[in-house]
Amino acid sequence: MLTTFNEVDMKPIMDLRSKYKDQFKEKYGVGLGFMSFFTRAICVALKDFPTVNASIDKDEIIYHDYCDISIAVSTPRGLVVPVIRNAESLSMPQIESEVVRLATKGRDGKLSIEEMTGGTFSITNPGIYGGLMGLPVINQPNVAILGIGAIQKRPMVIDDAIAVRSMVYLTLSYDHRVVDGAIAHQFVGKVKAYLENWSEEIL
């Protein structure tokens, strides 16, 4: 297992959430969280880097043409990892609804084995507990997992001037037997670029 880091300027996403969160909630009946943004960006990147979306089955590498995204959810009994099925085909409100549904079932102890197995890629979010970053452990048989740190305002150099930006660290742990370092860095860079240059409709 190897790990690579990057950081994302979340100002574009923060601005979008501030502008549309009330309309989003009124229209879809679910809040506009960060998970839908990260999930959409990850699904786009996985299309370009299918190796990161692979699984290991004994001595075979299985490549998936769909994105079943496992998300870490805290429950009274500890972390569980339910799966958002075919996330690449879901809209922003559909992803948010799935996150709420799975998190609620997890807290209530009602997740089925089927709902917690079969993911192709995993996301963990230590940032919701204040963690600046972490080294996530691969959720086998996946070959990669992305950790999302806490969003914090930090001074950054923008156009040769100091500016305050809401920044977040991304941490990708990956199985070097399948994913090499170049692919890992490019994958995280693609997620970063998509988030910082968001062009997708959210309503």
Any domain includes 167: yes
Task: Say if 111 falls within a structural domain.
Answer: yes
Catalytic, 176? Answer yes
Whether residue 203 lies inside any domain: the answer is no
* CA dist., res. 95 & res. 85, Å (int): 10
pLDDT greater than 90 at residue 84: yes
Which residue among the candidates 15, 65, 108, 180 is catalytic per the annotation? 180
Residue 123 has pLDDT above 90, yes or no: yes
Smallest CA-to-CA distance from 142 within 186, 173, 114, 111 is with 173
- For residue 56 the two structure tokens come to 């290991």
| C-alpha–C-alpha distance, residues 62 and 68, integer Å | 14
Q: Domain for residue 147, yes or no?
A: yes
Non-local (6+) Cβ contacts of 62 within 8 A are 54, 55, 56
Kindly state whether residue 55 falls inside one of the protein's structural domains. yes
Residue 182, pLDDT > 90, answer: yes
Does 201 reside within a domain?
A: no
Return the axis-axis angle of helices 92-107 and 11-28, rounded to nearest 10°. Answer: 80
Tens of pLDDT, residues 171-180: 999 999 999 9
State the CATH number of the domain containing residue 167.
Answer: 3.30.559.10
Q: State how far the Cα of 134 lies from the Cα of 61, in Å rounded to an integer.
A: 27
- Per-residue pLDDT of 125-181, as tens digits, reads 988 888 888 899 999 999 999 999 999 999 999 999 999 999 999 999 999 999 999
Q: Which domain holds residue 163?
A: 2-196
Strands 121-124, 144-148: pairing kind: parallel
pLDDT band at 32 (very low <50, low <70, confident <90, very high): very high
The model's pTM: 0.94
Please tell me the distance from the alpha carbon of residue 122 to that of residue 83, in angstroms, as a whole number. Answer: 9
Instruction: Count structural domains, the chain.
Output: 1
pLDDT tens, position by position, 86-97: 999 999 999 999
Is the per-residue pLDDT at 74 higher than 90? no
Q: What average pLDDT does the segment 34-63 reach?
A: 96
Helices (H) and strands (E) in the chain, counts: 4, 11
Do the domain assignments include residue 202?
A: no
Choice among 65, 160, 176, 185 that is catalytic:
176
Q: Which tokens is 12 given?
A: 């574009």
> Side-chain half-sphere of 86: how many Cα atoms within 13 Å?
4
23, part of any domain: yes
